Amino acid sequence: MKLRVFLIGLLVLVLAVPGYPSGMRLVDVPAHYWARSAVEQVIARHIMTAVHGRFYGNQTVTRSVFTIALVNFAVSLQKSEWALPPKSYQAPRPVIAKSLTVNKHPLTRYKLAAIFARIGPFVQAGLPSNHSHHYGNSIVLPAANSVKVPPHQPDSSALLFLTHHRMIWPGSPLIQHASQPITVQEASVGLAQMILGLNDEYTDEPENRPGYTGPSPNTRVRLPGKQPSSEK
């Protein structure tokens, strides 16, 4: 009887830990491959998928596939799925590109998984722990209705999610040519805009606080290398 209780308890613990979908096994990612851990993390959080256990990591990522994965990543952050104990955070290793032309290279599924896995905990740490309250929209970010979503695209619903949450801007590379491979540079733009919009949802702006009356009329902001016209 005690053994049975122990086994049931062990099974509950295993099922409670984020992992593959039931029965999922990666058959095309070597156990000690550099991206193995990242692939496991994005699959566990339902950001990217492995069909019949195959991740196809060397395939290039289209803009449509990236947009859908980006929304899944945003949802995982909204659910605080990347939270780690404070002592678990380590400074990220610097990434030095051998050439600026690498930014124009198509993004592969392996590289995208690695990007999500590397920045996920740090983006999560920068968000308020309490996601129950949404503050007013910042005037800096474009309004939701400023982005026109092309209809009848595979990623139309994902694009609508991004526009609704102000996580995408007019002229974004994600809006057009959904079937084209996305470059590292284009993915960086899409990722940065998503993070800005997500941060705005849960971050209090000064103008939302009681008693805020705006900056003093006598306050002037000096920009580096520039002077007010009255001082020229």
For residue 210, is it within any domain? no
Task: Give the DSSP letter string of 99-123.
Answer: -GGGGGSBPBHHHHHHHHHHHHHHH
Is the pLDDT assigned to residue 110 strictly greater than 90? yes
Give the domain range for residue 166: 17-85+105-205
Give the closest residue to 167 by CA, choosing from 186, 187, 193.
193
Number of domains in the chain: 1
Whether residue 130 is contained in a domain is answered as yes
Per residue in 174-211, pLDDT tens? Answer: 998 899 999 999 999 999 999 999 998 888 766 556 66
| More confident of the two residues 86 and 179 | 179
- Kindly state the DSSP code that residue 140 receives in the 8-state scheme: S
The rounded distance, in Å, linking the Cα atoms of 56 and 32 is 16
Residue 91 lies in a domain: no
Query: Long-range contacts of range 46-49, CB-CB < 8 Å, 24 or more positions apart?
Result: 46/72, 46/76, 47/72, 47/73, 47/76, 47/116, 48/72, 48/109, 48/112, 48/113, 48/116
Do the domain assignments include residue 55? yes
Residue 11 is assigned to a structural domain of this protein: no
Q: What is the pLDDT confidence band of residue 89, given thresholds at 50, 70 and 90?
A: low
- 90 assigned to some structural domain: no
**Residues 137-181 pLDDT 10s:** 777 888 888 888 888 888 999 999 999 999 999 999 999 889 999
Domain contains 231: no
Residue 7 included in any domain:
no
